[in-house]
Amino acid sequence: EPEVTQTPSHQVTQMGQEVILRCVPISNHLYFYWYRQILGQKVEFLVSFYNNEISEKSEIFDDQFSVERPDGSNFTLKIRSTKLEDSAMYFCASKLEKLFFGSGTQLSVL
């Protein structure tokens, strides 16, 4: 079965550093998403992306965050200046109809 692939599986960074989380969505999917889950909390929506632009974003997705689909296969989430509270599991997802999630990137900001 096709799957959404995320790299790296774990990322440790210093506060204030930039990080880029990478995702390869399922090839024929049209909608792309980033979600995050802080330890012990709900999975939260960050942003949705369709037709090469952001279609919706949450209040969490402030100016420190950006997304890009630089080519036909990759979908990236950039955090410009990480904060301690950005530590979470970040999930990429894609869909045609049903949403498929990647296995996540555990981001730890020290």
Measured from the CB of residue 4, what is the shortest distance to another protein in angstroms?
Answer: 8
Say if residues 23 and 29 touch (Cβ distance below 8 Å). no
- 17 vs 55, beta carbon nearer another protein: 55
Measured from the CB of residue 16, what is the shortest distance to another protein in angstroms?
Answer: 26
- 60 vs 76, beta carbon nearer another protein: 60
- 65 vs 100, beta carbon nearer another protein: 100
Q: Strand 5-7 relative to strand 43-50: parallel, antiparallel, unpaired?
A: unpaired
Residues that bind another protein (CB under 8 A): 31, 33, 35, 42-45, 48, 50, 55-56, 58, 89, 91, 97-104, 106
Concatenated DSSP letters of 20-84: EEEEE--TT--EEEEEEE-TTS-EEEEEEEETTEEEEE-TT--TTEEEE--SSS-EEEEESS--G
Measured from the CB of residue 33, what is the shortest distance to another protein in angstroms?
Answer: 7
- 59 vs 81, beta carbon nearer another protein: 59
